[in-house]
Amino acid sequence: MADDDALRAYRARLREWLAAHAETAPRRTVLEPLDDDDVRGRLAWQRTLSEAGYAGVTWPERFGGAGGSPAEAVAVEQELEAHGVATAFDFIGIGMVGPTLMVHGSAEQQDRHLEPLLRGDEPWCQLLSEPGAGSDLAAVQTRARRQDDGTWAVDGQKVWTSFAQHAAFGILLARTDPDVAKHKGLTMFVVPMDAPGVTIRPLRQITGDAEFNEVFLDDVRLCAEAVIGAPGEGWKVALTMLGFERVAVGSGLHATPLDQLVAAVGAHADDREDPAVRVRLGEVASQLLALRHTSERVVEQVSQGQVPGPEAGLIKITSVLASLDACRLAVDVRGAQALVAPEWGHQVSMLPGVRSAGGTEEILRNVIGERVLGLPPEPRVAA
């Protein structure tokens, strides 16, 4: 993205601000937070970023954002990375939940939740995936039953819930009418994660992190105002959030930085001159550059008020596959030593799990084939 005069001036102000604040900021790392103190420090940094207009850059000003352009958002990410400084901690809230509430949330929900979310005062998680459902998100078994007084009682279990142990609120998809087709009869709710009946159990991964969690919901009581959209419209809300999620997951959060790969491959003269290595580096670089430009195009659409469509899944697929190719090249060139270095060892362990985040590659290819390319649908067993 070429800088024009306005963007160069924006970047200059940002660099001046970072010169005054970067020294006390949390460092950028591929590792998960070490402990609760680390999380609190990263949320405090998110508050500092939001107060300066450098978190939620493209969020509208009426929702507490900076009302900036996609180019400015990209510039912020580039400068934070260049200074080795962490970005906003609650990427789930800022990138997925917040934009979904802007589209489907009530005015009261937007007033109550968006600004604290952006400031890092109340981080969020997504309560979507369930054990036994695989990639079929609509196979939700968690039930919400409306009570005589209009409140809801929720029972069920969610799994692979990222950062639930740090979240103040969750956005929950539950079945509220079991007698209709599975994509109908679903409702989306706001759930306080400290509500009676909510139990969170972290899941330790091969990386050593506990990013994912199991969440148990045992007769959790929610008020009528907790419904996002309307009862029975949960699938529509979920599709909106999945569109934003695929953009966020694939927009660079987990993509390998190209300069990191170039540094690893170019560390030794023999590798730099090896024709086979040069060809592979060119192929991976092409993928990562195409990913960057596609992400910028989608961010531009989002900033204009458009909801990401199924084609956003291409970003997620490309991000993960390009990063896997980058990791394979780095390990082939540097040998087993690459697995000891945190920037490569952690990615090699983490990326297979990321292939399922925001929908598996197979599900996304089906969605793109059917909804974008108009191909015949895959045979399905259940309605």
* Residues with catalytic roles: 245
* 17 vs 175: CA distance, rounded Å: 47
Cα first-last separation, the chain: 45
- What 3-state class would DSSP assign to 319? helix
| Residue 310, number of CB atoms within 10 A of its CB | 19
Q: How far is CA 159 from the centre of its chain?
A: 16
Give the count of alpha carbons within 13 A of 253, CB side only.
Answer: 22
Q: How far is CA 199 from CA 51, 117, 193, in A?
A: 33, 22, 8
Q: What is the dihedral of CA 234, 237, 239, 241, to 10 degrees?
A: -130
* 278 vs 271: CA distance, rounded Å: 8
Residue with tokens 């809801």: 152
Q: What residues contact 32, with CB distance under 8 A and at least 6 apart?
A: 207, 209, 210, 211
* 41 vs 304: CA distance, rounded Å: 33
* 340 vs 323: CA distance, rounded Å: 18
Cα 169–Cα 237–Cα 97 angle in degrees, nearest 5: 35
Q: How far is CA 375 from CA 170, 314, 315, in A?
A: 35, 16, 20
Report CA Rg, the chain.
Answer: 21
| Residue 108, number of CB atoms within 10 A of its CB | 9
